[in-house]
Structure 1
Amino acid sequence: MAMKYRCTLVVLKLSMSMLLAALACIWTVRLTRSWKRSWHEAEDRASTTVFSDSVLAVASLAYVYLHLTSKTDQESRKRQSILMTNLTNPITVMKRSIGIVSTAELLIATLFIIFLAWTYYSNVSSSFKMMTPYKSLKLNKWQLKMMYVGVRIGSLSEACLVLLFLPILRGMAVFRVFGVQFEASVRYHVWIGNLIILLSLLHGTIVMFIWGVKKSLLKEIVKWQSVGRVNIAGAMALTTGLIIWITSLPQIRRKQFQLFYLTHHLYIFFILFFLIHAGDKHFYLVFAGVLLFAVDKLLRIVQSRGTTSPISASILPNRALKLTLLKHPCMSYTPTSIIFVKVPIVSKFQWHPFSITSSSNMDNSELSILIKSHGQWTTGLFNLLNSVIDTGSSDHLKGIQIAVEGPYGPATVEYRRYKSLVLISGGSGISPFLSILQDIASRNGDMNKNPIKVQLIYVVKKVEDLSMLAVISPLLLENLKMKLFVTQENSPPVTAEKILQDLSLQIKTIASNKASSKGALSMPEGLLWKASITAVSFAVFLASLIILSYVFLHQESKSSSKKKKKDPSWIGDLFALCSLTIAASCCAMATMISRWKRTVSEGQQVPHRQSVCHENTSAKVQGTERHEIEFGIRPNLVEMLDEIEFGTEEEEVGIFVCGPASMNESVASFCIANRQCRKKDQRKQKCNFNVHFINFSL
């Protein structure tokens, strides 16, 4: 059976590679003279499918591939992970706005920039040779060239728009097939979004400058042509994009998250204005990403329609919350997974991501998250739960309704392929590592699937922040060594055991009866369902487009005996928009029916637990004589990693980092220097470091 899965995976890999290669070839050669001379007419006729079917087919195959990957043996996944790790290891640390760049990222970015340069050169050179004058404007030669320069820059933003939505797919994240998770791929969306705004701004500025020179700026902007590009829609798309971009700047997003969140939903109008401005033929170039995002968004809405209430809540000394939610026993997730949470009583619109701190192997009916109070939304939730705990009534806890999306996590568990593990975190960055430690604890009897040595380096500002560790203190294993750093406090010598026990005594907890809790978290749709729904959505879109065109255009042409005029552009735009809406709605309805049937058949039943309100007590932390704690200093991560000696020279050490940018950059710089020394044989290396970065925040 394992051999059958491996053969199927090879076939899927080849199929996806061939489809992507074919798509890349089409995008590249469509700009050549030979293509325009021989295939341009065929491209126009097949514009609905030629640029979309390959992307959607790859997405469907990717979901099937990820489904089968979870069923293959650990050695197969390990070989694949080693290849992906070599490509994703950092090779350079750039300025803070870009961050750490891996080999794969640098290679893909370089190829994409070359593609954009080739696209621009081909389009501009072709336009300069034709030099077709504008009928509405009497432009001289330099003005005409400037106009073409501006127009062709717009085609570059169109090429970027093809990729804009793919990195932010959550449930239908296609990047998982490359080992890239949603929280890591968000920065690709940011890069592409910045590039789109820059190119669109250049495009609009140059074109409007030429209009201004001819003193017809207002006349041209408000012009709504029946056939061709609609200028006013382009201006509205640019304005909408600028509003989204400005409110996405870190200075605004961090202080006014709700403003950022609400204005980001203007993407609907941005796509609509782009469709009207560019026309349906150009919309089909970017259609695949738009359809996948629309289906993904609707599936997430369907999942989050139901709400649940916490079965327990804890207040930690550092103003952090631990929430435990009831989940369906069949819902499983990998360590470092995240969920998105909305608490309507705090905000009806805001969704916030949090790392899951529990393990589905440890408890199949509960899911826990940690929330640090440091923003308006988290502070509001903290004050709400603090007042509930002070009342001591579990009925008030049941009255807090929570909507959840997810969980979203890696397809494979990377840490299990290492015998030696180093976890480096700062502040709230400990959250994803708690799930790793929980998972290790749940597999303590099977050392073939566990690291032999685990070292945790945890940096906090104040002693109270160490209470994040006290949540799992009973599970600290004998093979775990902790090095704790408290940077902003000085203290007399004290053991880690004493600190964690004291902090555990300060944790306040309230719990309710599981049986009285409103609903358990339901499982998200499986990968095979997502593969099917992707193919079905495209089929429904094509069918809707064909039917609408036949009913409204074909019948009109039959009833008209005169020579038929060219149809207005807005008709094709309207058909594309209606077909997209029908396809996405059908998928949402099918998912709702499927979830309803599954809920009825499962008849979710969970065990009971008596309501209790108590002060949390701690268990003895095992092996604390090996744990170290330092006050008033910051760790020298480069020096600490340089001193690590695990096993033999050939042994690989997994380094997982979750913390602020400065911490990530220090670890990345060390790993880059480590690999360079191995290549030059300047010194004997005891181990090879493979680093994995987990995003500190989204």
Structure 2
Amino acid sequence: MIIIPKTFFHTSTSIFHISNPNKFHSSQKYIFEEFKEEKLYIYIYIYMDPQRRPTPSHGSNNTVRAAIMAVVMVVFAGYIFLWTMVPTNPYRQTWLPELRLKTASTYFGTNQGANYLVFPFPVLFIAVFGSVYLHLGKKSSDNHTKGAKGENRLGIWKRPVIMKGLGIVSRVELAFFLMFIALLVWSFATYLRISFANITPKSAAKSGEKVWEAKLESAALRLGLVGNIALSFLFFPVTRGSSVLPLFGLTSEGSVKYHIWLGHMVMALFTAHGLSYIIYWAVTHEISEMLKWETTGVSNVAGELSLVAGVILWATTFRRIRRKMFELFFYTHHLYILFVFFFVLHVGISYTTIMLPGFFLFMIDRYLRFLQSRRGVRLMSARVLPCQTLELNFSKTKGLSYTPTSIMFINIPSISKMQWHPFTITSSSGLESDKLSVIIKGEGSWSNKLYHLLSSASSLDRLDVSIEGPYGPSSTDFLRHDLLVMVSGGSGITPFISIIRELIHTSDTMNRKIPEILLISSFKNSNDLTILDLVLPIFGAPSKLSNLGLQIEAYVTREKQPTTHEKKTIRTIWFKPNPSDAPITPILGQNNWLWLGAIISSSFIIYLILIGVVTRYYIYPIDHNTNKIYSSVSRSLLHILFICIGIVIAATGAFLWNKNENGRESMQIQNMEGATPMASPNSLYYNAERELESLPQESLSQCINVHYGERPDLKRFLFERKESSVGVLVCGPKKMRHEVANICSSGLAANLHFESISFSW
């Protein structure tokens, strides 16, 4: 209620700023300010709803999102149903011919129009509408908190299961994995049943073959068809900026395991496909078929080149090779370009449209990542720990927001121009609005070189760094729990630091209860305990952590008692600003999801227009000339070219538009940093030997209990908790993850909700 007399307009006024109205009790009305100035009286009544009721716009957003999700799920169900029908006679003999008849045109040809409608369109429809759904979700008041209702009903399906060869999976993941295997088996069995029915001794004799030889050729072909089903889904999990994954509650990092599973399936089926044909040609004395590259139809040589590239790539993906020779794995994995390129030339563009949508979305994401990585970012400082660990602090714009457990890919040209490595972001975009931090543990050759570079440098004033990301979940649901138990081993603590910092921000700004936190960390040596000093940021941490309910149980497993060596401090290195470097900005701006949807739709439309014009006025006249047929290889190359042109035009336009918008904010940040003493070019080592004696660090030290010469009793920690909902997160070595998963899946405690965070795939 506000009462303002007419004299208000003729008197001096005062402006009052509410710094933190959430400190008031939220269920009552208060007179926040009352003052008298001449004949001016102002009474301001504030009502704070403890449940933070959504505004009408939020309610409208949620309604629209529900409608979009309903439509998307219908389309997705139809897409899956389509895959089950593709091998059957009704689809091949009735549905597809009729669809081709209705979509035949001189712009796309007899078959291509139907192929676009059946396979790419549903996926691109889901991707575009998913972008709108996620954009509306960013404005929703409950985007980062989900209710616990329904969790209990689905709890049994989310319990972890340890499967040999698959690792830790939930029952939901296991169910979908088995259903996908069932789809492959169903497709292969249906293909064989229909094709073998037409192979008889009489039909085989006409072609000069034995029955088993004819069946071998048929089985070889069908293995390739089934392999293409797995290939169609292969690139979805590694499309980092995808709108499809977060639409179904997935992240690119958490979905890498699906990519691994699908990759093994693809290569196993395609290898069996190739070997079966080689055996068939050998027994029928037609081995010369391996050297044929037909002008129209299937090209055998292109298929063999694709298979060779795929097998070399596949051989380096097995865990032992990948972990011990990462660089070999990293570089050979780029053979996917040759694998896909020769695959297109092998089967032709008409059949390629089956796997096109997943790869099309991957290409858009890959090009956007390329654009983002071209510009160096502003590295503000580095904290060097005595335990082979670094914290890198980057400048960022306030418009860049991300959720806890997000990751960012980093490239440092002075170490390797080609290698990109993912690291967990430990900062909170709310608590540290102008800074982004990552922690890097020296556990490989690349990270050890970086640590040596910074720890031994005496005159290093800047470091060139490029980034891709951040990437992370579109929302988190940590607030639905009464308690969060975080179990980490070594550098596995890094994603939990981001969660703790986010909860610090939430407790300080939002008027709602947050869960208590129990962090159980295991370290090999006492030097590693210094990682705990990074739980709080350099700036922005509250002086008291009592409201957070944080308890840290740290275990040093290889030392029986505290070492008596002199305490080693954390050294902070401040880098000089460089005009060529810029703060990290969202590549597509604040409305990144809408821009992504626009890029997906416009790039595909550009591709359709270009290929339609060329087909109508160039390819079509040649194909209808009785003396000449346009080469399928040339046709495929034109499609590849126009797909790339469409992506480059749409993505570059969106990137440049948002680059100009981000440039103004970046310039303001750079000007402010230039005037800040701590970022002054003259202060190379600012507070270099900083003793952690600030009030926040003192509060943090009171929350830490250190245990030497033992390992944590995880069963005791988990089973003794009686809260109604306990979120259990684990990140660390495989043995630790499996131990926690077994405890949570035992069924002895119904209040435990498990989630594994693994970056060691």
TM-score (norm 1): 0.90
SS at match of 1:74: coil
SS at match of 2:698: coil
- From 702, 706, 709, give the equivalent of 1:629: 706
Tell which deviates more after alignment, 475-484 or 596-605: 596-605
- 1:691 is aligned to 754
How do residues 1-80 of structure 1 correspond to structure 2 at under 5 angstroms? 1-41=57-97, 42-43=99-100, 44=111, 45-74=113-142, 77-79=145-147
Q: Give, in whole Å, the separation in 1 of the partners of 2:734 and 2:360.
A: 34
Q: Give, in whole Å, the separation in 2 of the partners of 1:414 and 1:300.
A: 28
**1:177 to 1:135, Cα distance in 2 relative to 1, 3 A:** farther
1:122 partnered with 2:196: no
SS at match of 1:484: strand
Per-residue deviation, 1:281: 1.8
Per-residue deviation, 1:252: 2.4
1:663 partnered with 2:736: yes
8 Å CA contact 2:88–2:190 kept in 1: the answer is yes
8 Å CA contact 1:427–1:459 kept in 2: the answer is yes
Q: Give, in whole Å, the separation in 2 of the partners of 1:220 and 1:81.
A: 62
1:203 partnered with 2:273: yes
1:383 partnered with 2:452: yes
Q: Give, in whole Å, the separation in 1 of the partners of 2:143 and 2:281.
A: 63
TM-score (norm 2): 0.83
- 1:90 is aligned to 159
1:605 partnered with 2:661: no
8 Å CA contact 1:310–1:397 kept in 2: the answer is no
SS at match of 2:488: strand
Per-residue deviation, 1:345: 0.6
Per-residue deviation, 1:640: 2.1
**1:626 to 1:324, Cα distance in 2 relative to 1, 3 A:** closer
**1:512 to 1:557, Cα distance in 2 relative to 1, 3 A:** closer
8 Å CA contact 1:473–1:618 kept in 2: the answer is no
- 1:180 is aligned to 250
Per-residue deviation, 1:138: 3.4
- 2:320 is aligned to 251
Q: Give, in whole Å, the separation in 1 of the partners of 2:156 and 2:349.
A: 38
Q: Which runs of 4+ in 1 moved over 4 A?
A: 80-85, 132-137, 446-450, 473-476, 513-517, 623-626
- From 721, 727, 749, give the equivalent of 1:644: 721
**1:623 to 1:433, Cα distance in 2 relative to 1, 3 A:** closer
**1:202 to 1:15, Cα distance in 2 relative to 1, 3 A:** same
Q: Give, in whole Å, the separation in 2 of the partners of 1:346 and 1:76.
A: 38
8 Å CA contact 1:19–1:54 kept in 2: the answer is yes
* CA offsets 1:529-577 (integer angstroms, 9 cap, x no match): 111111112211211221121132234367x4xx365543224322321
SS at match of 1:46: helix
- 1:682 is aligned to none
- 1:681 is aligned to none
How do residues 460-479 of structure 1 correspond to structure 2 at under 5 angstroms? 460-472=523-535, 477-478=545-546, 479=549
Aligned AA (1:52):
P
Per-residue deviation, 1:234: 1.3
8 Å CA contact 2:424–2:438 kept in 1: the answer is yes
Unaligned runs of 5+ in 2: 1-56, 101-110
- 2:422 is aligned to 353
Per-residue deviation, 1:55: 0.5
Q: Give, in whole Å, the separation in 2 of the partners of 1:37 and 1:232.
A: 30
Unaligned runs of 5+ in 1: 678-684
- From 565, 589, 598, give the equivalent of 1:532: 598
1:146 partnered with 2:213: no
- 1:680 is aligned to none
Aligned AA (1:105):
E
8 Å CA contact 1:417–1:449 kept in 2: the answer is no
Aligned AA (2:569):
Q
Q: Give, in whole Å, the separation in 2 of the partners of 1:34 and 1:335.
A: 49
SS at match of 2:296: coil
Q: Give, in whole Å, the separation in 2 of the partners of 1:332 and 1:136.
A: 68
Per-residue deviation, 1:590: 1.4
Q: Give, in whole Å, the separation in 2 of the partners of 1:625 and 1:470.
A: 12
- From 299, 304, 309, give the equivalent of 1:230: 299
How do residues 289-308 of structure 1 correspond to structure 2 at under 5 angstroms? 289-308=358-377
**1:127 to 1:75, Cα distance in 2 relative to 1, 3 A:** closer
Larger Rg: 2
1:618 partnered with 2:692: yes
**1:81 to 1:323, Cα distance in 2 relative to 1, 3 A:** farther
**1:450 to 1:241, Cα distance in 2 relative to 1, 3 A:** farther
- 1:401 is aligned to 464
- 2:47 is aligned to none
8 Å CA contact 1:443–1:450 kept in 2: the answer is no
8 Å CA contact 1:473–1:621 kept in 2: the answer is no
**1:547 to 1:601, Cα distance in 2 relative to 1, 3 A:** farther
SS at match of 2:240: coil
- 2:354 is aligned to 285
Aligned AA (1:333):
Y
**1:308 to 1:73, Cα distance in 2 relative to 1, 3 A:** closer
Tell which deviates more after alignment, 104-113 or 85-94: 85-94
Aligned AA (2:186):
W
* CA offsets 1:294-316 (integer angstroms, 9 cap, x no match): 00000111111100242111210
Per-residue deviation, 1:15: 0.9
Tell which deviates more after alignment, 437-446 or 464-473: 437-446
Tell which deviates more after alignment, 400-409 or 582-591: 582-591
1:577 partnered with 2:640: yes
Q: Give, in whole Å, the separation in 2 of the partners of 1:692 and 1:347.
A: 34
- 2:746 is aligned to 673
Tell which deviates more after alignment, 445-454 or 199-208: 445-454
8 Å CA contact 1:459–1:486 kept in 2: the answer is yes
Q: Which has the higher helix share?
A: 1
Per-residue deviation, 1:136: 12
SS at match of 2:261: helix
Tell which deviates more after alignment, 23-32 or 77-86: 77-86
SS at match of 1:104: helix
Aligned AA (1:529):
W
**1:568 to 1:434, Cα distance in 2 relative to 1, 3 A:** same
**1:50 to 1:185, Cα distance in 2 relative to 1, 3 A:** same
**1:632 to 1:447, Cα distance in 2 relative to 1, 3 A:** farther
Aligned AA (2:390):
L
Per-residue deviation, 1:39: 2.1
1:551 partnered with 2:585: no
SS at match of 1:157: helix
Aligned AA (2:174):
L
- Identity among equivalent positions (%) equals 31
Per-residue deviation, 1:143: 0.7
Tell which deviates more after alignment, 74-83 or 160-169: 74-83
SS at match of 1:605: helix
- 1:415 is aligned to 478
Per-residue deviation, 1:212: 1.4
8 Å CA contact 2:714–2:740 kept in 1: the answer is yes
Aligned AA (1:470):
D
Q: Give, in whole Å, the separation in 2 of the partners of 1:604 and 1:465.
A: 38
**1:468 to 1:123, Cα distance in 2 relative to 1, 3 A:** same
SS at match of 2:699: coil
SS at match of 2:668: coil
Tell which deviates more after alignment, 344-353 or 636-645: 636-645
